[in-house]
Structure 1
Amino acid sequence: TMIYYGLKIIEPSVFLPVTVIICSVVSISTGSSWSTASTVGIALVGIGEGLGLPRPIIAGAIISGAYFGDKLSPMSDTTTLAPAMAGSNLFEHIKHMLYTTVPSYVLTLIGFVVIGLRKTSGGEVDTAQINEILNALTGSFKINPFLLLIPVFVIGMVIMKVPAIPGLFVGSLIGAATAIFVQGSSLKEALYSLHYGYVGHTGMPMVDELLTRGGLDSMMWTVSLILCAMTFGGIMEKSGMLGRIAQEILKFANTNGKLVLSTILTPIFVNLVAGDQYLSIVIPGRMFKESYEERGLAAKNLSRALEDSGTMTSPLVPWNTCGAFMMGALGVGPWVYVPYCFFNLISPVLSVIYGFTGFTIEKIKKEDK
C-alpha cells in the first residue's frame, strides 16, 4: 500500500530529497535510525526502484535522513549517551550540534536534488513502467488507504516509548492478521512469511523482486554479526587494547584543532575495529574528557565531536552493528551506498574544520567551573 500510494503521489524528480525529509521526520519522532530504516525505509526502497532509481542512492538518502534524528532526537540513545560521557547537558549538547548538523543537512538536500534532477531529466524514469507496477499491485492485492494505519500505529508505539520488542511483535501480529483477513492468506502462509519471508507472485518480475523480502531467517546473519561485534568490542575494551592505542593518539593532540581531529578519528577507528557505535562514543568520551577540561574547552564540544564521528560513521562500516543492520534492512551490499550517505560524510568533516578554525568551539564558562 505504501509503495502504491508513494508511486502515485511522489514526483520522481524530488523523490530523493523527499526521502531524506520523510526519514528525518520519522527518526526525530522515534529517536531510532533502525526503526526508521526498517519501516518507512523499506517502503521507500520499493517506491524509488519503481521510479527507476538505483537502490544504493535510495539507501544513501534513507540513511542520511534516519541518522539526522538519531543524532538530534532527545529520545535517541546515542544523543543521550554522548553528553553523559562528555559531562555536558543534554539540551545544550543538542543545541551545539545544530552548528554542524544544519549545514550538513542543507548540503545533503542540495546533493540529492541535483542527483534527482539528473536522473529524471535524462528520461530514465519510465511512466509506462510505473503504471505497470501499479496495475500489478492492484491486481494481486487489496489496496486501501486504511492499511496505512498499520505502519503509523507501529511508529506511534515507538514515539510513545513502547519498548522495541513488544512494539515490533505487535506490529508483526497486526501485519499477519491483515494478510489473513484482508489479503486472504492462510495462517500457514502468514507464519511461513514471518519466518522465511514473502515471495511475490504478481506476474511482473520487477514487482516480485520489490516485494520479495526475507523474514526472521534472513536476519540471522545480521544478528550473528552484531553478537560477534559486541563480544569482540567488549574484549578490546576490557583487555585495555583500545585504551593503549588511544593514549598514543592523545600525544598528537597538542592544539585545539588537533584535539578535535583526534576526537573525530578515534570513534571512526573504534567503529572499524570494535564494530559497535556505543563503544565508539563511550571509549573516546572517557579518554578525551580530561584533555578538553585541561584546555578550558566546554564539554559540549567533546559530545558534539563524538556524535559527528561515532554516530555518523557507524552505518558506513559493513561489519559494524549499524552497517550490518542497514545492509540487511535495505537489501544493499557493503560499501555501495556509502558514497551517497552525504549527511554522514559531511558532518565529521565540518566538525574538523570548526576545530581548526575555532568556529563555535566554546570555552568553559566561569559558572560551569
Structure 2
Amino acid sequence: MNDQHPGLEEFTGAQPLPSFWQAAACFGGVLLLISLGLFVFQISLHALIFLALVWAGLHTRSLGYSFAAIRGMMNDGITKALPAIYIFMLIGMAIASFMHSGTIATLLYVGLDWLSPGIFLAAGFVLCSLMSVATGTSWGTTGTIGVVLIGIGDAMGIPLPLVAGMIVSGATFGDKLSPISDTTNLAAMSAGTNLYRHIGSMLYTTLPTFIIVLIVFILWGWQYGENPLPGRHLDEIRGALADSYRLNGWITLLPLLLMFGMSIKRYAAEVSMSCSILLALAIAIGYQGKDAVDAINALWLNQPGNTGIASIDELLGRGGLYSMAWTLLLSVMALALGGILHHAGFLRVLLLRLIAAIQRASTLIATTILSGLAGNLAMGEAYISIILNCQLFKDAYREKDLDPAVLSRSVEEGSTLTTGLIPWTTAGTFYAATLGVPTLDYALYALLNLLNPLVSITMAVLGIGLLRMRLKR
C-alpha cells in the first residue's frame, strides 16, 4: 500500500467507469451547485466546493470505491499541484518583501512619472507581456509589475477591473509562449512534440490575438487620456513615496532583476523567488532601515504603509502568507475535487463520447479547447487539465493527420488561457487575491484570454495553421 496515498492502488482500473449519464449527472451537478450557490444565493465558495466534494464523493462511492480510495484520489489531486502551491506561497512573501525593500515603491514612483492615462492600458499590456515572456510566470508577473500597475491605475482613476484584466492578459501571454514557462513545457511534453515546434505553432493564433488586443487597449485608453490625473495629486503621491523610501533604483530594483535573471538562466521558480525574497529583506533592513523583526514578520502578514495617502498605504500593505490563506484553502479543496473527478473517470467518460463523434479537424480543435475549459471548471488546475486532455485527444489528432504541436497549442488555449477566468481555480483565486479585484469582475476585460480561443477556432475553420504530420521535422 502507498504510505502517502492509502487506497491509491484501488483506482488504477479495478472499478468500472461510470456510465455516460452518471458522469453527466455528477459533473453537471458540480457546475450547477457552484453556479447557483455563487451567483443566486451568494454562498461562500469554500462551502460550495465542500458540498461539491460530497456530491462527487457519493457518486464515486456508488461505483464501488472505498473511502480510502476516494481519499487517495483527493490526495493525488492535491499532490500533483504542489509545485504551484509552493510558488503561490512564495509569491505572497515576495510581494511583502518587495514592499519593504522599496522595489514596488520605486516602480510606482517611476511609473507615475512617465505613464499617462491615455497610453496606460496599452503600455501596461506590453510591459506585462514582456516580463511574463522573460520570466515564464504569469503569477510572478502579476505579483510584481501587476501590483504596481494596479496602484498606478487606481491613482489615475482608471477602473480597477479593466486594469486587472489588462494585467492578466499580458501575464498570460508569456505564460503561454515563454520557453521557460512550466505550462508551455508541460503541454509540449504531454502532447509529444518539440518545445519550439509547440511555441511556433502557438504563434499562428497568439500573435494575431495580441495585435487585436493591443489595438483595443490603445483605443480604450483614449477615453481616459482626456481626464489626466491632476498634477498636484501626482506630485503628492511621488512626494509621499520619496519621503517613506530611499528610491535608488540601482539598489531597490535588484530583487526584481535577480528573479528576472535567474528565470532566464532556467533556475527553478522556487529557487529564484526565494533568493529574491532574501535579497529584498537584506535591502529592507540594510538600506531602507526597516526593523528586522517587522520586515521578517511581514513575510507572514504585511502591514499598511505610512505615506499618509490611504490608497498607497493599502497597496504597500499587500502580501504575506496570511493574505493568501483564503485563496490557498480554496485551491486545495478544488484540487481535491479535481482528483475525484479525474481518477473516477467522470470527465474522461464525457469526453470520450464527444471525441468519437468528431469528423472535422476544426471541430476537434474546438472540442479540445472546450475540454480544457471543462477540465479547469472541474479540477481547478490547468496542469491536470493539460495532462488529461493531451492523453485523451492524442490518438484523435493522429487519426486526423494533425501535428502534435496543434494538439499542444489547442490544449494550452483551452487550459492555460481560461484558468485565470474561473473563480475557484488556483490561477483565478491568485489573481483576485493579488490584484484585489474579484475574478468575475476582471474576467470580461482579460481580452487575450477571451479572444485567443475564439481566434484559434476561427482559424481552424478557415484551415489556417493546421500543421500536418507530414510537415513535422
TM-score, normalised with respect to structure 2: 0.74
Matched-pair contact (CA < 8 Å) for 1:136–1:207:
no
**Aligned residue number for residue 42 of structure 1:** 147
Which residue of 13, 32, 37 corresponds with 2:118?
13
Which residue of 322, 326, 331 corresponds with 1:221?
326
What SS class does the counterpart of residue 440 from structure 2 fall into? coil
Report how far residue 217 of structure 1 moved. Answer: 0.8
Greater gyration radius: 2
1:101-140 superposed matches below 5 A: 101-121=206-226, 123=227, 125-140=229-244
1:189-268 superposed matches below 5 A: 189-268=294-373
Which residue of 286, 304, 310 corresponds with 2:391?
286
**Aligned residue number for residue 158 of structure 1:** 263
Report how far residue 267 of structure 1 moved. Answer: 0.4
Matched-pair contact (CA < 8 Å) for 1:52–1:126:
no
Aligned counterparts of 1:78 and 1:205: Cα–Cα separation in 2: 38
Aligned counterparts of 1:332 and 1:367: Cα–Cα separation in 2: 43
Matched-pair contact (CA < 8 Å) for 1:198–1:215:
no
**Aligned residue number for residue 470 of structure 2:** 365
Amino acid corresponding to residue 93 of structure 1 in structure 2: H
Report how far residue 5 of structure 1 moved. Answer: 1.0
The root-mean-square deviation of aligned C-alpha atoms, in Å, is 1.7
Amino acid corresponding to residue 133 of structure 1 in structure 2: I
Aligned counterparts of 1:75 and 1:170: Cα–Cα separation in 2: 18
Report how far residue 98 of structure 1 moved. Answer: 0.8
Aligned counterparts of 2:393 and 2:368: Cα–Cα separation in 1: 7
Report how far residue 265 of structure 1 moved. Answer: 0.6
Aligned counterparts of 1:367 and 1:149: Cα–Cα separation in 2: 43
Which residue of 262, 276, 279 corresponds with 1:174?
279
**Aligned residue number for residue 88 of structure 1:** 193
Aligned counterparts of 2:246 and 2:211: Cα–Cα separation in 1: 39
* Distance change >3 Å, CA 84–CA 161, structure 1 → 2: closer
Aligned counterparts of 1:355 and 1:334: Cα–Cα separation in 2: 29
**Aligned residue number for residue 149 of structure 1:** 254
Matched-pair contact (CA < 8 Å) for 1:199–1:208:
yes
Moved more, 316-325 or 202-211: 202-211
Report how far residue 58 of structure 1 moved. Answer: 1.5
What SS class does the counterpart of residue 198 from structure 1 fall into? coil
TM-score, normalised with respect to structure 1: 0.94
**Aligned residue number for residue 59 of structure 1:** 164
Gaps of 5+ in 1: none
Matched-pair contact (CA < 8 Å) for 2:117–2:228:
no
What SS class does the counterpart of residue 22 from structure 1 fall into? helix
Matched-pair contact (CA < 8 Å) for 1:252–1:258:
no
Identical residues among aligned pairs (%): 38
Which residue of 415, 419, 429 corresponds with 1:310?
415
Aligned counterparts of 1:179 and 1:90: Cα–Cα separation in 2: 39
Q: Does 1:326 align with 2:431?
A: yes
Aligned counterparts of 2:471 and 2:405: Cα–Cα separation in 1: 15
Matched-pair contact (CA < 8 Å) for 1:253–1:259:
yes
Amino acid corresponding to residue 125 of structure 1 in structure 2: L
What SS class does the counterpart of residue 261 from structure 1 fall into? helix
Aligned counterparts of 1:262 and 1:41: Cα–Cα separation in 2: 32
Paired residue total = 367
**Aligned residue number for residue 183 of structure 1:** 288
What SS class does the counterpart of residue 298 from structure 2 fall into? helix
Aligned counterparts of 1:183 and 1:94: Cα–Cα separation in 2: 42
Q: Does 1:99 align with 2:184?
A: no
What SS class does the counterpart of residue 306 from structure 2 fall into? coil
* Distance change >3 Å, CA 51–CA 261, structure 1 → 2: same
What SS class does the counterpart of residue 335 from structure 1 fall into? helix
Matched-pair contact (CA < 8 Å) for 1:56–1:332:
yes
* Distance change >3 Å, CA 149–CA 255, structure 1 → 2: same
Q: Does 1:347 align with 2:452?
A: yes
